[in-house]
Structure 1
Amino acid sequence: MKKEEDEGACWAICPECQGRGKKSRGISKKARLRYQLAFDLFEKTKGEGAAPVYPKGHLYSCLNCYGSGLVHSDSHPVADKKNFPHVAIIGGGIGGVALAVACLHRGIPFTLFERDSNFDARSQGYGLTLQQGSKAIEGLGIFSLKEGVISTRHLVHTAEGKVIGEWGVRKWIQSDTKTSPKRSNVHIARQSMRLALLEQLGGQDAVQWGHQLVAFVACKDGVDLSFQIDGKIKNYKADLVVGADGIRSSVRTLLIGEDITPLRYLDCIVILGICPLSALEDRTSHLLDSATVFQTANGNERIYIMPYTSDSVMWQLSFPMPEQEAKTLSAQGPQALKEEACRRTQWHDPIPQILAATLDAQISGYPVYDRELLQSEMMEKWGAETLIGDAAHPMSPFKGQGANQALLDALSLARGISKGCGPLSQWRKVGIRESVLTKFEAEMLERSGIKVHDSAAAAEFLHSDIVLQEGDSPRGRSLKKKDI
């Protein structure tokens, strides 16, 4: 499938793999025999020890759709209201829009609600780096990103400018080319990623803007939802409610309150800014080639600078600070945040120049929080409700995993609905939790739990002397080796 084919295209799930992107080669004779012997032994010992697990077939990428799970279609699939549940998606950020797109491709009826009045009502973060998400967006019908910038080099410096780490394509592969689709990351503004997803839905009119969720309650034939719109209450009905509404999720609060798994402060603050390269007097630094990511640290403060667009960079400064001080500094606004950032980073060029040239309007800051991971046992008590993205597993920004995991959550849930709610599933009788949600949540929590843990650990070691250890690999990798 050619990458440039996606612009303006319609998609449907691949009939060969049913939208999963992978197919199974089946179970080998050897694997079946090994299982049978283990099962026979288990029965002879009258169930002593753990029961053997039936082997899974080896998965391979579907050749018909090149692993995306999608094929071209003359038009979007018609929503199958007879067989599939109607999904109410709460939150129009990246995770919520991605879920809507994945539902669209599968003919799953949905309504996408967002409390903001319009697309530009507030900032949806700054930049993001697509890692595992690069594969996920192909499963969402996006095979190229017009605004995406590929990095092929990552450097780590001391405050004086000494290089203490380097990795990436240009380190490992001797080549004159500046970009490569392999072993490289794609950086894109969150709003650009969000807009690319909305274009799959036909534009911003696909969102119910200005809808603030205030309540939902299970009823005989689904879930009744109440929204506040322009000071009035409006009711909707759905079969499944998905909270994709961020770290301070209204759905999560209505499900379990704020006392269970409350916000957990990670003892540091982040200050973010975007600087156009045109604002710099000297642009000759090799660090400003729009294909290099670099970070500089001194064991307390740490700054991370990456391409934002082809002609701008995004910077992220972080450092330890007591929670109340972090809240106070954040509340003081962009000018105070910029002054604090400049004061702490009189380091090697071009860091001071980048921060000084960043306009106040392009600066924000916030204390860093996550939450303790939810447990499957807790979620099993819920009804036809679930969470994805930051609503389910918020994490620090230091591993760049928040948006990536939200994209994977969205695709996984839509695939689960498509598989678990077919004509023969009887999901209305047995319940959508048993048919879809329990399995989806177990997979999501297992996958994202590692990222939550690693992101919290990064909030500590990136502001310690560990970050200054020399080595051509991402910071903190040596800690993982010690844990093994």
Structure 2
Amino acid sequence: MVDNQKVTWTLCQECQGRGKKRRRLRKKVKLQYQYLLEEFEKNQNQGIAPVRPKGSLYPCLNCNGSGLISSSSNTIVDKENYPHVAIIGGGIGGVALAVACLHRGIPFTLYERDKNFDSRSQGYGLTLQQASKAIEGLGIFVLDEGVISTRHVVHTTEGEVIGEWGIRKWVQKDAQMPPKRTNIHIARQSLRLALLEQLGGQDKIQWGHQLTGLRESKANGVELEFQVNGEIRSAKADLVVGADGIRSSVRRLLIGDDRNPLRYLGCIVILGICPLESLKGVSSSLLDSATVFQTANGTERIYMMPYTSESIMWQLSFPMSEKEAKVLSVLGPKALKKEALRRTKWHDPIPQILEATQEAQVSGYPVYDRELLTPELLQTLGQVTLLGDAAHPMSPFKGQGANQALLDALSLARSIHRNCKYLSQWREARLRETVLKDFELEMLERSASKVKDSAEAAKFLHSEVVLHVGDEPRGRFLKKNDL
């Protein structure tokens, strides 16, 4: 296996860091397109123009699809040909973008409002799905703290199994596991730390920088203002990327909260993390650090997954008015844990897990998303764009927030690298046209279904739909039956 910390990465020249190559078009396909184009021109461009065909993509064999190869030294920063990128937000998406820029020699500065890495409690876990491949494009081939689940079980509150799937369900114990990509569960801070190690350490972030203003300058760049230790400091960049979360300062300054407000999804989430050693007297096959399980009654729903190999994370959610949800979250860990215990007098080991969870490891919040941005609105942002939760916040019920942020980061860095090198003249053509327009269209198209599905999950996971009997995810049943 590759040790992430001891390898320096550079772009694979064969695929230009994309991880994929395009096959050549067959002669027959080329001739067919040429014929259609000639006919279109003969008809004086009437009707629909034929679309130039593209060869199918296949993984690059030189880099095994990651877009990276090992190198004896860091990629040289190319300040002459690439724009300087100011990244606002040092969370998963922001650090991932910085890493992707580092591998491509794109100059950047990464700003974070927190004073340091541990300023805020960020103790919840993530499930890497599509992004379990994308992180290889960021130089992370091994996640030492990651846990792979091989079984997913759904129960009624009495403990009756009404659904089960995963590798262990479909493959006999003595059979060879298929080479199928699996979900990786990892603590958010562990993934963030792995990304920072790729970046070269925590000192690569400009900590304690709260963005207070930004405006395009006459010199074709963007001027920024930060509050740092009570003082105002200025900076400048060619491109600004807001990766600063659901309550993004970049988004608020340029779009405003009224134009595209937070949308309450009608429920609250209470989270907790429990060490397995606190459950020594509890015997359950659900506590094997490789099982994800959920229990529901049509109103409340609890979801439990491995947090590390030695702890489990739980997520209880239920409908509640926005006002009540805000009040409960403000009351803090003690009130949140008490409410969670009151609502989950269910089958073992749920009560035991919640009871053993320390109050310091409990948090809760009302669930929000936003209406998806439009390309037209993004076009007004000039040399500024958004990614991750700043661009398309969504509920946590489909586990897509971090996945989409990682994919956004890699997509944007690849777009900058592809469209800004050498003779691209991006300074004259403006980054919005050369880089941002295509990136944003791809991001919005990819994330639209995720935002929609996550919002729908906030409803059906707290309804009778969740109680149907079937060995499949609850949302899949919903789509199959068009409910």
Q: TM-score, normalised by structure 1?
A: 0.97
Q: How does 1:284-433 map to 2 (within 5 A)?
A: 284-433=283-432
CA distance in 2, matches of 1:483, 1:427: 47
CA distance in 2, matches of 1:462, 1:275: 23
Percent of matched pairs sharing the same residue: 70
Give the paired residue count. Answer: 482
- 2:163 aligns to what? 165
- 2:201 aligns to what? 203
Q: CA deviation at 1:458?
A: 0.3
Identify if the C-alpha distance between structure 1 residues 392 and 157 changes in structure 2 by more than 3 Å, giving closer, same or farther.
same
Q: CA deviation at 1:459?
A: 0.3
Q: CA deviation at 1:54?
A: 1.4
Deviations 1:373-421 (A, max 9, x none): 0001111122110000000000000000000000000000000000000
Q: How does 1:238-257 map to 2 (within 5 A)?
A: 238-257=237-256
CA distance in 2, matches of 1:49, 1:189: 54
- Residues 152 and 179 in structure 1, CA contact (< 8 A), matched pair in contact too: no
SS in 1 for 2:314: strand
Residue 131 (structure 1) aligned to one of 126, 129, 132: 129
Q: CA deviation at 1:283?
A: 3.7
CA distance in 2, matches of 1:345, 1:22: 48
Q: CA deviation at 1:180?
A: 7.5
Deviations 1:20-69 (A, max 9, x none): 00001122223223333443454455555433221111111000000000
CA distance in 2, matches of 1:111, 1:181: 39
SS in 1 for 2:424: coil
Q: TM-score, normalised by structure 2?
A: 0.97
Q: CA deviation at 1:177?
A: 8.3
CA distance in 2, matches of 1:442, 1:124: 30
- 2:227 aligns to what? 228
SS in 2 for 1:11: strand
- 1:120 aligns to what? 118
CA distance in 1, matches of 2:145, 2:176: 17
- 1:259 aligns to what? 258
- Residues 150 and 185 in structure 1, CA contact (< 8 A), matched pair in contact too: yes
Residue 49 (structure 2) aligned to one of 25, 48, 51: 51
SS in 2 for 1:369: strand
- 2:480 aligns to what? 481
Matched, 1:268 2:271: no
CA distance in 1, matches of 2:26, 2:283: 59
Residue 147 (structure 2) aligned to one of 141, 146, 149: 149
Gaps of 5+ in 1: none
CA distance in 1, matches of 2:379, 2:30: 32
SS in 2 for 1:112: strand
Gaps of 5+ in 2: none
SS in 2 for 1:171: helix
- 2:433 aligns to what? 434
Identify if the C-alpha distance between structure 1 residues 344 and 178 changes in structure 2 by more than 3 Å, giving closer, same or farther.
farther
CA distance in 2, matches of 1:475, 1:466: 7
Identify if the C-alpha distance between structure 1 residues 44 and 466 changes in structure 2 by more than 3 Å, giving closer, same or farther.
farther
CA distance in 2, matches of 1:176, 1:285: 22
Matched, 1:446 2:449: no
Moved more, 119-128 or 404-413: 119-128
SS in 1 for 2:368: strand
SS in 2 for 1:270: strand
CA distance in 2, matches of 1:460, 1:107: 44
- Residues 97 and 194 in structure 1, CA contact (< 8 A), matched pair in contact too: yes
- 1:188 aligns to what? 186
- Residues 273 and 314 in structure 1, CA contact (< 8 A), matched pair in contact too: yes
Q: CA deviation at 1:176?
A: 4.8
CA distance in 2, matches of 1:179, 1:259: 51
- Residues 168 and 183 in structure 1, CA contact (< 8 A), matched pair in contact too: no
- 1:103 aligns to what? 101
- 2:470 aligns to what? 471
Deviations 1:446-481 (A, max 9, x none): 001110000000000000000111111111112223
CA distance in 1, matches of 2:469, 2:76: 56
CA distance in 2, matches of 1:31, 1:478: 40
CA distance in 2, matches of 1:348, 1:207: 46
- Residues 77 and 107 in structure 1, CA contact (< 8 A), matched pair in contact too: yes
- Residues 266 and 370 in structure 1, CA contact (< 8 A), matched pair in contact too: yes
Q: What code does the residue aligned with 1:190 have?
A: R
Identify if the C-alpha distance between structure 1 residues 73 and 125 changes in structure 2 by more than 3 Å, giving closer, same or farther.
same
CA distance in 1, matches of 2:186, 2:197: 16
Q: What code does the residue aligned with 2:131 have?
A: G
Moved more, 253-262 or 455-464: 253-262
SS in 1 for 2:477: helix
- 1:15 aligns to what? 13
SS in 2 for 1:381: helix
Identify if the C-alpha distance between structure 1 residues 181 and 320 changes in structure 2 by more than 3 Å, giving closer, same or farther.
farther
CA distance in 1, matches of 2:38, 2:178: 52
- Residues 93 and 124 in structure 1, CA contact (< 8 A), matched pair in contact too: no
SS in 1 for 2:380: coil
- Residues 268 and 319 in structure 1, CA contact (< 8 A), matched pair in contact too: yes
Q: CA deviation at 1:104?
A: 0.3
- Residues 294 and 304 in structure 2, CA contact (< 8 A), matched pair in contact too: yes
- Residues 88 and 241 in structure 1, CA contact (< 8 A), matched pair in contact too: yes
- 1:82 aligns to what? 80
CA distance in 2, matches of 1:467, 1:379: 37
CA distance in 2, matches of 1:93, 1:156: 32
SS in 1 for 2:64: coil
Matched, 1:26 2:24: yes
Q: What code does the residue aligned with 2:447 have?
A: S
SS in 2 for 1:139: helix
CA distance in 1, matches of 2:386, 2:175: 42
Q: What code does the residue aligned with 1:87 have?
A: V
- 1:65 aligns to what? 63
Deviations 1:197-238 (A, max 9, x none): 000111100000000000011111311110000110001110
Q: What code does the residue aligned with 1:372 have?
A: E
- Residues 5 and 198 in structure 2, CA contact (< 8 A), matched pair in contact too: no
Identify if the C-alpha distance between structure 1 residues 79 and 456 changes in structure 2 by more than 3 Å, giving closer, same or farther.
same
Moved more, 113-122 or 51-60: 51-60
CA distance in 2, matches of 1:67, 1:35: 30
